[in-house]
Structure 1
Amino acid sequence: MKPFHSILFAIFITAVFVGGCLPDSETDESAVIASVGGEELTLESALRQIPEIALREDTLQAIESFKSQWINSKVTEKEARRLQLQNNAEFREQLNRMERQLMEDMLKQYVLSEHEEELNVSRDEAQDYFQANRDRFVLDERHIRFRHITTNTRTEIDNARSDLMRGVEWERVLESYSVNPDLQLRESTQFWPYSMAVADIPMLNRYLGVIGISEISPIHLYRGQYHFVQLREVRNEGDHPDFEWLIPQIQQWLKLEKSQRITNAFIRNLYLQAESNNEIERLGSNETRSALMDFYSNTESN
């Protein structure tokens, strides 16, 4: 198969398999936002498939991006069908492999749903794990807690800075002037690796590297909005993080460990059951080695 056809084939099998796993809603009467060869993409269908994080960041941009991807996928699929790649043995083999993998993954999810209560990780469990492994939790870079406010006008940012310097509560300052008070309040309670602190606005990130505790940075205009930051706390590289920072992460680790134990035990039981029913046959190591040598010998002779 030529390189172009190989690429087209890979895209085609992904489009066919994923498309077949996403049935349209029976009552989808939303606007049609794109169509290719009579096949339509509705707004509701797009919203169901776009990751939530992308929708939260910029809904319109996420839809436009998905729309372009969908159109490219459909025109590629159309060309692949014209070439009848779906009749290719490699296509059927990969499709069967993907189907088997999906069935295996869905079975594991089903098993975990049956043990949902066992997967819960309490705060006490997380704390016990933290205490037992405390030496493993070390900051690999400087972490900071800071305040960041964004306003639409210069007057608002000046007033916000003035209020903060006069001792007005941070929450009140945000409510009065911020374009997104809830988000900026929530972010101000967390510690961030310095490299990730407002990394999307490089000047503010640099300010956080040079200002002192409680110091407020100069006002910065970025993409039509006004910003400043205030440094609140610093934890240096090599310090131990607070347990409170790690609760969600530790709980996720422990939940993953429990999930693996449950699914591994389930698969082991399936294996033993199949073995007891004489459903499993396997060559021993020596027989496998001989078969491998015969295979290579026959391949070389051909």
Structure 2
Amino acid sequence: MIEVRQVTKRYGPKTAVDGLTFTAQPGQVTGFLGPNGAGKSTTMRMIIGLDEPTEGTVRVNGRRYREHAAPLREIGALLEARSVHPGRSARSHLLGLARTHGIPRQRVDEVLELSGLTAVAGKRAGAFSLGMGQRLGIAAALLGDPAVVMLDEPVNGLDPEGVLWVRGLLGSLAAEGRTVMLSSHLMAETALIADHLVVVGKGRLLADTSVKDLINSAGTEVRVGSDEADRLRGLLARPGVSVASSIEGELDVTGMDAREIGAIASAHGVPLYQLTTRTASLEDAFMDLTRDSIEYGSVPA
């Protein structure tokens, strides 16, 4: 279990994390989301003792990271896949980590096989592709057979087979009762993997909820097509209903379902040639939630 309680982290005048509280529970995959600059990396660094909170507490399985006699057996983390000496082979890198914790050589071979690196175990890590580097980082995170696994952008650089592997791996780890925390910018993939979500923006907690509930909070949109779209717009106007149009003859309606729209159109003799419901995606919900928390925004072309 990962417990973050009222954690604040300041770097001089800059507050990177501001009173953050959440728990990553055993038996589920917790997605840790936020825009660039939201404080995700700083929070994960505090979880594994690379940074100390200015205020608040962080616990892994009931203790601070540095209080564990064998931390690799408690939490395995991937924060930067390239943090490997480029001259070392994959096997040598993992053996070096294993020796610091009394982990047997057999376990090194197991995680090499699990991560699909057995055939290149003797190859220098500096010659690895981005995807192979990710696999090595995940292998290192799993080396101590930890109860908690925390991964930052684990599918970055992986091919489709690798993405499917990570998806299945994280699901199986959670099914074994382990705590799995995943940070990613890939909303579609996170929606498939995560059970629970913690969303942060500008260092503060924005949401601590299930994937389903966050998506439902974004609502649904109904696309309506009619040769009398302007007239229909007036008929649909009422408090709580939003009607927008980006294409002539078509309306995007929120706050009213397709059945209600169809009934109003029928009652007033407005012909429809399209009436479709679009359910919001996790990306839609995320963008809506973090709209005011984007620190590094792009200017539309």
After TM superposition, is the score higher than 0.5?
no
Q: Give the TM-score band, short-chain normalised.
A: under 0.3
More contact order relative to length (CA 8 Å, sep ≥ 6): 2
More strand per residue: 2
- Rg bigger for which structure? 1
Using structure 2 for the length normalisation, give the TM-score. Answer: 0.21
Q: Identify the structure with the greater helix proportion.
A: 1
